[in-house]
């Protein structure tokens, strides 16, 4: 018997909610599904990728101080059809991969970009299509 049923969302705290939401929508193509404010005053935005049920919850709570993301602490990974096409998309926004692309032992191609506040985004082009 499973104790939990499924992953619903992952929360990431940010300093500039509007800038970060714009990044996830414009660069990654995520869809904003809900905005709300928590009882303690945190501003929350929930985002979703087109083919996933799980949400990313971005939150801004200035009272907790500035966000300081440690290197290699956490990252989000997204499937892409083509890293080549994604690279071209990045160039139209004056961005580039921060690392990669690299080919894994399994033949997948991976690359990384940095989101606002320094969160790392991994992009994976599957060798299996």
Could you tell me where the beta strands, DSSP code E, fall in 50-92?
Answer: 55-60, 75-79
pLDDT bucket at 4, cuts 50 / 70 / 90? confident
Together in a domain, 50 and 88? no
Together in a domain, 92 and 120? yes
Give the CATH number of the domain where residue 43 resides.
3.10.180.10
Together in a domain, 51 and 79? no
Last residue of a domain, one of 62, 91, 107: 62
Together in a domain, 105 and 58? no
Together in a domain, 80 and 112? yes
Least reliable range by pLDDT among 2-11, 40-49, 77-86? 2-11
As for how many domains the chain has, the answer is 2
Q: According to the model, what pLDDT value does residue 83 have? A: 96
Is the pLDDT reported for residue 1 higher than 80?
no
| Range 5-30 average pLDDT | 94
pTM here is 0.90
Domain that holds residue 119: 71-129
Q: According to the model, what pLDDT value does residue 129 have? A: 63
CA 118 and chain centroid, separation: 11
**pLDDT, averaged across the chain:** 93
Q: Tell me how far apart the alpha carbons of residues 52 and 112 are, in angstroms, rounded to a whole number.
A: 20
pLDDT digit string, tens, across residues 96-105: 999 999 999 9
Query: What helix, strand, coil percent values describe the chain, rounded to 5?
Result: 20, 35, 45
Residue 1 lies in a domain: no
Q: For residues 86 and 104, is the Cβ–Cβ distance under 8 A?
A: no
């Amino acid at each position: 018997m499973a104790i939990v049923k499924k992953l619903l969302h992952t929360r990431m705290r940010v300093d500039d909610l509007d800038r970060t939401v714009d990044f996830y929508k414009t660069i990654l193509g995520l869809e904003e599904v809900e905005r709300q404010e928590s009882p303690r005053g945190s501003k929350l935005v929930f985002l979703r990728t087109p083919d996933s049920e799980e949400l990313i919850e971005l939150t801004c709570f200035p009272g907790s101080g500035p966000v300081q993301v440690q290197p290699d602490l956490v990252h989000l990974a997204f499937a892409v059809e083509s890293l080549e096409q994604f690279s071209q998309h990045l160039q139209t926004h004056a961005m580039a991969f921060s690392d990669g692309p690299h080919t894994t032992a399994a033949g997948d191609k991976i690359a990384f970009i940095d989101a606002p506040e320094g969160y790392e985004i991994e992009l994976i082009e599957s060798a299996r299509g």
